[in-house]
Structure 1
Protein backbone atom coordinates (compact mmCIF):
# COMPACT_ATOMS: atom_id res chain seq x y z
CA UNK A 1 0.00 0.00 0.00
CA UNK A 2 1.40 3.37 -1.04
CA UNK A 3 1.45 6.23 1.45
CA UNK A 4 0.07 9.64 0.52
CA UNK A 5 1.96 12.82 1.23
CA UNK A 6 0.32 16.21 1.83
CA UNK A 7 2.51 19.29 1.95
CA UNK A 8 1.42 22.39 3.86
CA UNK A 9 3.09 25.79 3.81
CA UNK A 10 1.88 28.63 6.03
CA UNK A 11 2.96 32.26 6.08
CA UNK A 12 2.49 34.26 9.26
CA UNK A 13 0.18 37.35 8.95
CA UNK A 14 1.74 40.62 7.95
CA UNK A 15 2.28 43.46 10.40
CA UNK A 16 2.98 46.22 7.89
CA UNK A 17 0.52 48.84 6.79
CA UNK A 18 0.13 50.89 3.62
CA UNK A 19 -2.62 53.00 2.00
CA UNK A 20 -3.82 50.45 -0.55
CA UNK A 21 -2.49 47.10 0.62
CA UNK A 22 0.46 45.78 2.55
CA UNK A 23 2.00 42.44 3.28
CA UNK A 24 5.36 41.56 4.89
CA UNK A 25 6.51 37.98 5.00
CA UNK A 26 7.62 37.14 8.52
CA UNK A 27 8.03 33.38 8.44
CA UNK A 28 7.35 30.19 6.56
CA UNK A 29 6.49 26.87 8.09
CA UNK A 30 6.48 23.73 5.96
CA UNK A 31 5.44 20.33 7.20
CA UNK A 32 4.58 17.03 5.56
CA UNK A 33 1.75 14.82 6.75
CA UNK A 34 1.82 11.14 5.74
CA UNK A 35 -1.32 9.08 5.63
CA UNK A 36 -1.75 5.45 4.69
CA UNK A 37 -4.44 5.18 2.01
CA UNK A 38 -4.70 3.73 -1.47
CA UNK A 39 -4.52 5.84 -4.59
CA UNK A 40 -2.11 8.26 -6.14
CA UNK A 41 0.13 10.50 -4.12
CA UNK A 42 -1.40 13.96 -3.61
CA UNK A 43 0.50 17.11 -2.80
CA UNK A 44 -0.80 20.55 -2.01
CA UNK A 45 0.54 23.78 -0.62
CA UNK A 46 -1.45 25.81 1.90
CA UNK A 47 -0.59 29.45 2.50
CA UNK A 48 -2.09 32.39 4.33
CA UNK A 49 -2.34 35.84 2.79
CA UNK A 50 -3.04 39.17 4.49
CA UNK A 51 -3.87 42.62 3.19
CA UNK A 52 -5.02 46.04 4.35
CA UNK A 53 -7.07 48.57 2.40
CA UNK A 54 -7.78 52.13 3.55
CA UNK A 55 -10.78 54.11 2.34
CA UNK A 56 -11.39 57.83 2.98
CA UNK A 57 -14.92 59.12 3.46
CA UNK A 58 -16.77 59.59 0.18
CA UNK A 59 -19.71 61.70 1.40
CA UNK A 60 -20.07 64.97 3.30
CA UNK A 61 -23.24 66.42 4.76
CA UNK A 62 -23.78 70.14 5.50
CA UNK A 63 -26.69 71.73 7.37
CA UNK A 64 -27.69 75.26 6.37
CA UNK A 65 -30.23 76.99 8.61
CA UNK A 66 -32.12 80.28 8.45
CA UNK A 67 -34.63 81.90 10.78
CA UNK A 68 -36.82 84.96 11.17
CA UNK A 69 -39.22 86.65 13.60
CA UNK A 70 -42.05 88.89 12.39
CA UNK A 71 -45.38 90.23 13.58
CA UNK A 72 -47.35 88.33 10.91
CA UNK A 73 -47.25 84.88 9.37
CA UNK A 74 -46.95 86.26 5.85
CA UNK A 75 -43.97 88.42 6.72
CA UNK A 76 -42.03 85.68 8.47
CA UNK A 77 -42.86 83.15 5.74
CA UNK A 78 -41.75 85.53 2.99
CA UNK A 79 -38.52 86.36 4.79
CA UNK A 80 -37.51 82.73 5.27
CA UNK A 81 -38.76 81.49 1.89
CA UNK A 82 -36.74 84.09 0.03
CA UNK A 83 -33.48 82.85 1.58
CA UNK A 84 -34.48 79.21 1.21
CA UNK A 85 -35.06 79.72 -2.50
CA UNK A 86 -31.61 81.25 -2.87
CA UNK A 87 -29.97 78.38 -0.96
CA UNK A 88 -31.70 75.72 -3.07
CA UNK A 89 -30.92 77.59 -6.28
CA UNK A 90 -27.24 77.82 -5.37
CA UNK A 91 -27.11 74.11 -4.58
CA UNK A 92 -28.73 73.18 -7.90
CA UNK A 93 -26.41 75.48 -9.85
CA UNK A 94 -23.49 73.46 -8.49
CA UNK A 95 -24.91 70.23 -9.82
CA UNK A 96 -26.33 68.74 -6.62
CA UNK A 97 -29.34 66.50 -7.22
CA UNK A 98 -32.66 67.21 -5.51
CA UNK A 99 -32.56 63.72 -3.97
CA UNK A 100 -29.43 64.78 -2.07
CA UNK A 101 -31.23 67.80 -0.59
CA UNK A 102 -33.88 67.93 2.13
CA UNK A 103 -35.75 70.89 3.64
CA UNK A 104 -37.50 71.25 7.00
CA UNK A 105 -39.53 74.22 8.31
CA UNK A 106 -40.96 75.00 11.71
CA UNK A 107 -43.36 77.87 12.48
CA UNK A 108 -44.38 78.86 16.00
CA UNK A 109 -45.59 81.90 17.89
CA UNK A 110 -44.31 83.51 21.07
CA UNK A 111 -46.52 86.26 22.48
CA UNK A 112 -47.01 88.66 19.53
CA UNK A 113 -44.16 87.38 17.39
CA UNK A 114 -44.17 84.62 14.79
CA UNK A 115 -40.97 82.64 14.47
CA UNK A 116 -39.97 80.42 11.59
CA UNK A 117 -36.86 78.24 11.47
CA UNK A 118 -35.82 76.33 8.38
CA UNK A 119 -33.01 73.90 7.68
CA UNK A 120 -31.56 72.60 4.42
CA UNK A 121 -29.47 69.41 4.60
CA UNK A 122 -27.25 68.85 1.57
CA UNK A 123 -25.17 65.74 0.84
CA UNK A 124 -22.15 66.22 -1.41
CA UNK A 125 -20.07 63.65 -3.26
CA UNK A 126 -17.56 66.31 -4.30
CA UNK A 127 -15.81 67.94 -1.33
CA UNK A 128 -14.51 70.90 -3.34
CA UNK A 129 -18.02 71.58 -4.57
CA UNK A 130 -19.20 71.59 -0.97
CA UNK A 131 -16.62 74.24 -0.09
CA UNK A 132 -17.66 76.44 -3.02
CA UNK A 133 -21.35 76.24 -2.12
CA UNK A 134 -20.70 77.12 1.52
CA UNK A 135 -18.50 80.05 0.51
CA UNK A 136 -21.17 81.46 -1.82
CA UNK A 137 -23.89 81.20 0.85
CA UNK A 138 -21.76 82.85 3.51
CA UNK A 139 -20.73 85.61 1.13
CA UNK A 140 -24.22 86.40 -0.19
CA UNK A 141 -26.39 85.80 2.87
CA UNK A 142 -23.82 86.79 5.51
CA UNK A 143 -25.22 86.66 9.05
CA UNK A 144 -28.73 85.77 7.93
CA UNK A 145 -27.61 82.17 7.31
CA UNK A 146 -25.84 79.62 9.49
CA UNK A 147 -23.65 77.06 7.72
CA UNK A 148 -22.88 74.09 9.94
CA UNK A 149 -19.67 72.10 10.24
CA UNK A 150 -19.25 69.55 7.42
CA UNK A 151 -19.92 65.99 8.55
CA UNK A 152 -17.88 63.41 6.60
CA UNK A 153 -18.99 59.80 6.39
CA UNK A 154 -18.70 56.59 4.35
CA UNK A 155 -21.51 55.40 2.11
CA UNK A 156 -22.66 51.79 2.19
CA UNK A 157 -21.37 51.27 -1.35
CA UNK A 158 -17.93 52.58 -0.39
CA UNK A 159 -17.63 50.21 2.57
CA UNK A 160 -18.83 47.21 0.55
CA UNK A 161 -16.29 47.89 -2.17
CA UNK A 162 -13.50 48.25 0.39
CA UNK A 163 -14.36 44.88 1.97
CA UNK A 164 -14.32 43.15 -1.40
CA UNK A 165 -11.02 44.77 -2.38
CA UNK A 166 -9.22 43.74 0.80
CA UNK A 167 -10.36 40.12 0.49
CA UNK A 168 -9.30 39.90 -3.16
CA UNK A 169 -5.96 41.51 -2.33
CA UNK A 170 -5.34 38.98 0.46
CA UNK A 171 -6.05 36.10 -1.95
CA UNK A 172 -3.69 37.62 -4.52
CA UNK A 173 -0.96 37.83 -1.88
CA UNK A 174 -1.57 34.22 -0.90
CA UNK A 175 -1.30 33.12 -4.52
CA UNK A 176 1.97 34.98 -4.94
CA UNK A 177 3.39 33.26 -1.87
CA UNK A 178 2.24 29.88 -3.12
CA UNK A 179 3.94 30.50 -6.48
CA UNK A 180 7.23 31.32 -4.77
CA UNK A 181 6.95 28.27 -2.50
CA UNK A 182 6.21 25.94 -5.42
CA UNK A 183 9.20 27.30 -7.33
CA UNK A 184 11.39 26.76 -4.29
CA UNK A 185 10.26 23.14 -4.19
CA UNK A 186 10.78 22.68 -7.92
CA UNK A 187 7.07 22.32 -8.62
CA UNK A 188 4.42 24.14 -10.64
CA UNK A 189 1.42 25.66 -8.88
CA UNK A 190 -1.91 24.08 -9.77
CA UNK A 191 -5.48 25.34 -9.34
CA UNK A 192 -6.82 26.36 -5.91
CA UNK A 193 -8.46 23.64 -3.83
CA UNK A 194 -9.84 25.71 -0.95
CA UNK A 195 -10.11 29.43 -0.15
CA UNK A 196 -11.18 30.50 3.33
CA UNK A 197 -11.35 34.01 4.80
CA UNK A 198 -10.30 33.43 8.38
CA UNK A 199 -10.29 36.92 9.89
CA UNK A 200 -11.46 40.43 9.03
CA UNK A 201 -11.05 43.66 11.00
CA UNK A 202 -12.05 47.30 10.52
CA UNK A 203 -11.00 50.42 12.37
CA UNK A 204 -11.18 54.19 11.95
CA UNK A 205 -8.23 56.51 11.67
CA UNK A 206 -6.75 58.01 14.81
CA UNK A 207 -7.93 61.43 13.61
CA UNK A 208 -11.56 60.43 14.11
CA UNK A 209 -11.67 61.05 17.88
CA UNK A 210 -9.80 64.33 17.50
CA UNK A 211 -12.23 65.34 14.78
CA UNK A 212 -15.18 64.69 17.09
CA UNK A 213 -13.67 66.78 19.88
CA UNK A 214 -12.96 69.73 17.59
CA UNK A 215 -16.23 69.77 15.64
CA UNK A 216 -17.71 72.59 17.68
CA UNK A 217 -14.80 74.92 16.93
CA UNK A 218 -14.27 73.92 13.29
CA UNK A 219 -15.11 76.42 10.57
CA UNK A 220 -15.32 76.32 6.80
CA UNK A 221 -11.71 77.38 6.43
CA UNK A 222 -10.44 74.94 9.08
CA UNK A 223 -12.08 71.75 7.91
CA UNK A 224 -11.75 68.66 10.09
CA UNK A 225 -9.67 65.82 8.76
CA UNK A 226 -11.48 63.49 6.41
CA UNK A 227 -12.00 60.24 8.37
CA UNK A 228 -10.52 57.04 6.99
CA UNK A 229 -11.59 53.45 7.62
CA UNK A 230 -9.05 50.65 7.22
CA UNK A 231 -10.00 47.01 6.70
CA UNK A 232 -7.75 43.98 7.01
CA UNK A 233 -8.30 40.44 5.83
CA UNK A 234 -6.51 37.15 6.41
CA UNK A 235 -7.23 34.22 4.13
CA UNK A 236 -6.07 30.64 3.91
CA UNK A 237 -5.70 29.12 0.45
CA UNK A 238 -4.77 25.60 -0.62
CA UNK A 239 -3.33 24.92 -4.07
CA UNK A 240 -2.51 21.65 -5.77
CA UNK A 241 1.06 21.08 -6.95
CA UNK A 242 2.04 19.82 -10.39
CA UNK A 243 5.32 18.55 -11.73
CA UNK A 244 7.15 20.36 -14.50
CA UNK A 245 5.33 18.35 -17.15
CA UNK A 246 1.95 19.57 -15.86
CA UNK A 247 0.97 16.29 -14.21
CA UNK A 248 -0.62 16.58 -10.77
CA UNK A 249 1.51 14.93 -8.10
Structure 2
Protein backbone atom coordinates (compact mmCIF):
# COMPACT_ATOMS: atom_id res chain seq x y z
CA UNK A 1 0.00 0.00 0.00
CA UNK A 2 1.51 3.31 -1.09
CA UNK A 3 1.72 6.08 1.46
CA UNK A 4 3.13 9.53 1.84
CA UNK A 5 3.86 11.61 4.90
CA UNK A 6 5.03 15.06 5.88
CA UNK A 7 7.14 15.50 8.99
CA UNK A 8 7.48 18.58 11.19
CA UNK A 9 9.96 18.45 14.06
CA UNK A 10 10.87 21.24 16.48
CA UNK A 11 14.62 21.82 17.05
CA UNK A 12 16.70 24.80 18.10
CA UNK A 13 18.76 27.09 15.86
CA UNK A 14 21.90 28.87 16.92
CA UNK A 15 19.89 31.83 18.20
CA UNK A 16 17.53 29.66 20.17
CA UNK A 17 14.65 30.04 17.69
CA UNK A 18 12.77 27.00 16.52
CA UNK A 19 13.61 25.71 13.04
CA UNK A 20 10.31 25.06 11.28
CA UNK A 21 11.62 23.62 8.03
CA UNK A 22 11.11 26.75 5.90
CA UNK A 23 14.67 27.97 6.47
CA UNK A 24 17.81 26.89 4.71
CA UNK A 25 19.25 23.93 6.68
CA UNK A 26 22.79 25.01 5.77
CA UNK A 27 22.40 28.11 7.92
CA UNK A 28 21.81 26.04 11.05
CA UNK A 29 24.70 25.28 13.36
CA UNK A 30 24.96 22.48 15.86
CA UNK A 31 25.73 23.59 19.41
CA UNK A 32 25.41 22.20 22.89
CA UNK A 33 22.10 23.20 24.45
CA UNK A 34 21.53 23.13 28.17
CA UNK A 35 19.37 20.16 29.11
CA UNK A 36 17.18 22.33 31.32
CA UNK A 37 16.25 24.50 28.32
CA UNK A 38 15.14 21.42 26.39
CA UNK A 39 13.19 20.08 29.35
CA UNK A 40 11.27 23.34 29.68
CA UNK A 41 10.21 23.26 26.03
CA UNK A 42 7.32 21.28 24.61
CA UNK A 43 8.92 18.90 22.14
CA UNK A 44 6.80 17.25 19.52
CA UNK A 45 6.81 15.73 16.06
CA UNK A 46 3.94 16.17 13.63
CA UNK A 47 3.49 13.66 10.84
CA UNK A 48 1.01 13.68 7.97
CA UNK A 49 0.40 10.22 6.50
CA UNK A 50 -1.80 8.88 3.71
CA UNK A 51 -3.08 5.44 2.81
CA UNK A 52 -5.47 3.84 0.32
CA UNK A 53 -7.87 0.93 0.42
CA UNK A 54 -9.85 -0.53 -2.49
CA UNK A 55 -12.56 -3.14 -2.93
CA UNK A 56 -14.73 -4.44 -5.81
CA UNK A 57 -18.50 -4.06 -5.70
CA UNK A 58 -20.20 -6.35 -3.19
CA UNK A 59 -23.78 -6.03 -4.46
CA UNK A 60 -25.51 -6.50 -7.82
CA UNK A 61 -29.09 -5.76 -8.85
CA UNK A 62 -31.07 -7.10 -11.81
CA UNK A 63 -34.31 -5.76 -13.26
CA UNK A 64 -36.73 -8.23 -14.86
CA UNK A 65 -39.57 -6.70 -16.88
CA UNK A 66 -42.69 -8.32 -18.25
CA UNK A 67 -45.60 -6.82 -20.18
CA UNK A 68 -48.77 -7.96 -21.88
CA UNK A 69 -51.94 -6.65 -23.57
CA UNK A 70 -55.49 -8.08 -23.29
CA UNK A 71 -59.07 -7.06 -23.93
CA UNK A 72 -59.96 -6.78 -20.24
CA UNK A 73 -58.27 -5.77 -17.02
CA UNK A 74 -58.76 -9.21 -15.45
CA UNK A 75 -57.21 -10.99 -18.42
CA UNK A 76 -54.10 -8.84 -18.56
CA UNK A 77 -53.72 -8.93 -14.78
CA UNK A 78 -53.92 -12.73 -14.67
CA UNK A 79 -51.49 -13.09 -17.59
CA UNK A 80 -48.85 -10.84 -16.06
CA UNK A 81 -49.38 -12.23 -12.55
CA UNK A 82 -48.62 -15.78 -13.71
CA UNK A 83 -45.28 -14.67 -15.11
CA UNK A 84 -44.53 -12.62 -12.01
CA UNK A 85 -45.24 -15.59 -9.76
CA UNK A 86 -42.84 -17.76 -11.74
CA UNK A 87 -40.14 -15.09 -11.60
CA UNK A 88 -40.52 -14.73 -7.83
CA UNK A 89 -40.51 -18.49 -7.40
CA UNK A 90 -37.20 -18.78 -9.25
CA UNK A 91 -35.76 -15.95 -7.16
CA UNK A 92 -36.83 -17.59 -3.88
CA UNK A 93 -35.40 -20.95 -4.97
CA UNK A 94 -32.01 -19.30 -5.35
CA UNK A 95 -31.97 -17.81 -1.89
CA UNK A 96 -33.02 -14.20 -2.46
CA UNK A 97 -35.07 -12.88 0.46
CA UNK A 98 -38.22 -10.78 0.27
CA UNK A 99 -36.41 -7.68 1.53
CA UNK A 100 -34.06 -7.96 -1.46
CA UNK A 101 -36.94 -8.17 -3.93
CA UNK A 102 -39.40 -5.47 -5.00
CA UNK A 103 -42.28 -5.58 -7.50
CA UNK A 104 -44.01 -2.75 -9.34
CA UNK A 105 -47.02 -2.93 -11.69
CA UNK A 106 -48.24 -0.35 -14.22
CA UNK A 107 -51.66 -0.61 -15.92
CA UNK A 108 -52.80 1.60 -18.76
CA UNK A 109 -55.17 1.49 -21.74
CA UNK A 110 -54.16 1.66 -25.38
CA UNK A 111 -57.13 2.01 -27.75
CA UNK A 112 -59.31 -1.04 -27.06
CA UNK A 113 -56.60 -2.96 -25.21
CA UNK A 114 -55.45 -2.93 -21.60
CA UNK A 115 -51.70 -3.10 -21.16
CA UNK A 116 -49.87 -3.99 -17.97
CA UNK A 117 -46.15 -3.67 -17.35
CA UNK A 118 -44.47 -5.18 -14.31
CA UNK A 119 -40.93 -4.92 -13.03
CA UNK A 120 -39.08 -7.04 -10.48
CA UNK A 121 -35.88 -5.68 -8.95
CA UNK A 122 -33.69 -8.27 -7.23
CA UNK A 123 -30.52 -7.53 -5.25
CA UNK A 124 -27.85 -10.18 -4.75
CA UNK A 125 -24.69 -10.36 -2.65
CA UNK A 126 -23.77 -13.67 -4.32
CA UNK A 127 -22.87 -13.02 -7.95
CA UNK A 128 -23.06 -16.70 -8.92
CA UNK A 129 -26.67 -16.92 -7.71
CA UNK A 130 -27.51 -13.86 -9.75
CA UNK A 131 -26.04 -15.50 -12.84
CA UNK A 132 -28.05 -18.68 -12.30
CA UNK A 133 -31.30 -16.75 -11.84
CA UNK A 134 -30.74 -14.81 -15.05
CA UNK A 135 -29.96 -18.01 -16.95
CA UNK A 136 -33.12 -19.77 -15.76
CA UNK A 137 -35.39 -16.82 -16.56
CA UNK A 138 -33.91 -16.32 -20.01
CA UNK A 139 -34.19 -20.03 -20.76
CA UNK A 140 -37.71 -20.63 -19.46
CA UNK A 141 -39.47 -17.38 -20.31
CA UNK A 142 -37.57 -16.57 -23.50
CA UNK A 143 -38.87 -13.39 -25.13
CA UNK A 144 -41.80 -12.89 -22.79
CA UNK A 145 -39.51 -11.15 -20.29
CA UNK A 146 -36.70 -8.62 -20.50
CA UNK A 147 -33.77 -9.38 -18.19
CA UNK A 148 -31.72 -6.26 -17.56
CA UNK A 149 -27.97 -5.87 -17.44
CA UNK A 150 -26.54 -6.59 -13.97
CA UNK A 151 -25.77 -3.37 -12.08
CA UNK A 152 -22.86 -3.75 -9.65
CA UNK A 153 -22.50 -1.36 -6.73
CA UNK A 154 -21.02 -0.99 -3.23
CA UNK A 155 -23.18 -1.31 -0.15
CA UNK A 156 -23.04 1.32 2.60
CA UNK A 157 -21.40 -1.23 4.91
CA UNK A 158 -18.65 -1.94 2.39
CA UNK A 159 -17.90 1.75 1.87
CA UNK A 160 -17.82 2.41 5.62
CA UNK A 161 -15.40 -0.47 6.18
CA UNK A 162 -13.06 0.78 3.42
CA UNK A 163 -13.03 4.29 4.89
CA UNK A 164 -12.14 2.99 8.34
CA UNK A 165 -9.39 0.73 6.99
CA UNK A 166 -7.85 3.57 4.99
CA UNK A 167 -7.88 5.90 8.00
CA UNK A 168 -6.36 3.32 10.36
CA UNK A 169 -3.65 2.44 7.83
CA UNK A 170 -2.83 6.14 7.39
CA UNK A 171 -2.41 6.51 11.16
CA UNK A 172 -0.21 3.40 11.30
CA UNK A 173 1.98 4.78 8.49
CA UNK A 174 2.26 8.13 10.27
CA UNK A 175 3.28 6.43 13.51
CA UNK A 176 5.97 4.42 11.74
CA UNK A 177 7.38 7.58 10.15
CA UNK A 178 7.30 9.37 13.49
CA UNK A 179 9.27 6.53 15.10
CA UNK A 180 11.95 6.77 12.42
CA UNK A 181 12.14 10.55 12.76
CA UNK A 182 12.46 10.38 16.55
CA UNK A 183 15.30 7.88 16.21
CA UNK A 184 17.02 10.17 13.69
CA UNK A 185 16.79 13.06 16.15
CA UNK A 186 17.99 10.95 19.06
CA UNK A 187 14.62 11.15 20.83
CA UNK A 188 12.17 8.63 22.20
CA UNK A 189 8.68 8.82 20.76
CA UNK A 190 5.91 9.40 23.28
CA UNK A 191 2.14 9.18 23.14
CA UNK A 192 0.08 10.89 20.41
CA UNK A 193 -1.88 13.91 21.62
CA UNK A 194 -3.65 14.89 18.38
CA UNK A 195 -5.02 12.80 15.51
CA UNK A 196 -6.91 14.58 12.75
CA UNK A 197 -8.24 13.22 9.45
CA UNK A 198 -7.54 16.04 7.03
CA UNK A 199 -8.81 14.68 3.72
CA UNK A 200 -10.66 11.71 2.26
CA UNK A 201 -11.19 10.93 -1.41
CA UNK A 202 -13.09 8.22 -3.27
CA UNK A 203 -13.09 7.22 -6.92
CA UNK A 204 -14.06 4.18 -8.99
CA UNK A 205 -12.32 2.55 -11.90
CA UNK A 206 -15.16 2.94 -14.38
CA UNK A 207 -18.50 4.66 -14.83
CA UNK A 208 -21.60 2.51 -14.79
CA UNK A 209 -23.41 3.14 -18.05
CA UNK A 210 -26.34 1.62 -19.92
CA UNK A 211 -28.02 0.99 -16.57
CA UNK A 212 -30.82 -1.54 -16.64
CA UNK A 213 -31.22 -1.83 -20.39
CA UNK A 214 -32.69 -5.06 -21.74
CA UNK A 215 -30.06 -7.61 -22.66
CA UNK A 216 -30.85 -11.20 -23.66
CA UNK A 217 -27.45 -12.56 -22.71
CA UNK A 218 -26.20 -14.49 -19.71
CA UNK A 219 -22.54 -13.62 -19.90
CA UNK A 220 -21.25 -11.82 -16.83
CA UNK A 221 -18.64 -9.04 -16.97
CA UNK A 222 -15.05 -10.10 -16.52
CA UNK A 223 -13.97 -9.69 -12.86
CA UNK A 224 -11.64 -6.88 -13.94
CA UNK A 225 -14.69 -4.99 -15.28
CA UNK A 226 -16.62 -5.10 -12.00
CA UNK A 227 -16.51 -1.56 -10.52
CA UNK A 228 -13.85 -1.07 -7.88
CA UNK A 229 -13.82 1.89 -5.51
CA UNK A 230 -10.61 3.25 -4.02
CA UNK A 231 -10.67 5.26 -0.80
CA UNK A 232 -7.79 7.56 0.18
CA UNK A 233 -7.32 9.01 3.66
CA UNK A 234 -4.85 11.64 4.84
CA UNK A 235 -4.29 12.16 8.55
CA UNK A 236 -2.18 14.43 10.70
CA UNK A 237 -0.80 12.99 13.94
CA UNK A 238 1.18 14.83 16.61
CA UNK A 239 3.40 12.98 19.08
CA UNK A 240 5.37 14.17 22.07
CA UNK A 241 8.96 13.19 22.76
CA UNK A 242 9.44 11.30 25.99
CA UNK A 243 11.53 12.96 28.68
CA UNK A 244 14.22 10.38 29.35
CA UNK A 245 16.30 12.74 31.50
CA UNK A 246 14.41 11.79 34.64
CA UNK A 247 15.66 8.43 35.75
CA UNK A 248 13.50 6.15 37.79
CA UNK A 249 14.54 5.94 41.46
CA UNK A 250 16.48 2.82 42.26
Answer whether contact 2:105 2:118 (CA < 8 A) is retained. yes
- Consecutive unaligned residues of structure 2, counting only runs of 5 or more, are 19-36
Greater C-alpha radius of gyration: 2
Q: Is the 8 A contact 2:2 2:52 kept in 1?
A: yes
CA distance in 2, matches of 1:103, 1:85: 11
- The 5 Å alignment of 1:60-79 reads 60-79=60-79
2:179 counterpart residue number:
179
Name 1:200's counterpart in structure 2: 200
Compared CA separation, residues 128 and 55, structure 1 to 2 (3 A): same
Aligned partners of 2:73 and 2:191: how far apart in 1?
75
Give me the whole-angstrom Cα distance separating, in 2, the residues matched to 1:222 and 1:216.
Answer: 15
Kept after mapping to 2: 8 A contact 1:162/1:231: yes
Tell me which residue corresponds to 1:105: 105
The yes-or-no answer on 1:163 pairing with 2:163 is yes
The whole-number CA distance in structure 2 between the counterparts of 1:111 and 1:228 is 48
Q: Does 1:23 align with 2:3?
A: yes
Over 3 Å off, 4+ runs: 27-31, 33-39, 213-220, 243-247
* Inter-CA distance 246–75: structure 2 relative to 1 (3 Å threshold): farther
SS in 2 for 1:201: strand
Give the secondary-structure state (helix, strand or coil) at the position aligned to 1:83. helix
Partner of 1:6: none
Equivalent residue for 2:31? Answer: none
Q: Return the alpha-carbon distance in structure 2 between the equivalents of residues 58 and 111 of structure 1.
A: 45
Q: Could you state the TM-score of these two structures normalised by the residue count of structure 1?
A: 0.78
From the superposition, tell whether residues 24 and 236 of structure 1 become closer, same or farther in structure 2 (CA, over 3 Å).
Answer: closer
> Hey, what's the Cα distance between the residues in 1 that align with 2:246 and 2:125?
51
Helix, strand or coil for the counterpart of 2:40?
A: coil
Residues 41-190 of structure 1 mapped to structure 2, 5 A cutoff: 41-190=41-190
Question: 2-side partners of 1:111 and 1:214: how far apart?
Answer: 31
TM-score, with normalisation over the residues of structure 2? 0.78
Unpaired segments ≥5 residues, structure 1: 1-20
**2:11 corresponding residue in structure 1:** 32
Cα-Cα RMSD: 2.9
Q: Using the alignment, how far apart are the partners of 1:162 and 1:87 within structure 2?
A: 35
Verify the 8 A CA contact 1:55 1:228 in the aligned structure 2: yes
Q: State the distance in 2 between where 1:128 and 1:143 align.
A: 23
Deviation per CA, 1:75-101: give whole Å up to 9, x if none. Answer: 222221111011111111111110111
The farther-off stretch of 193-202 and 80-89 is 193-202
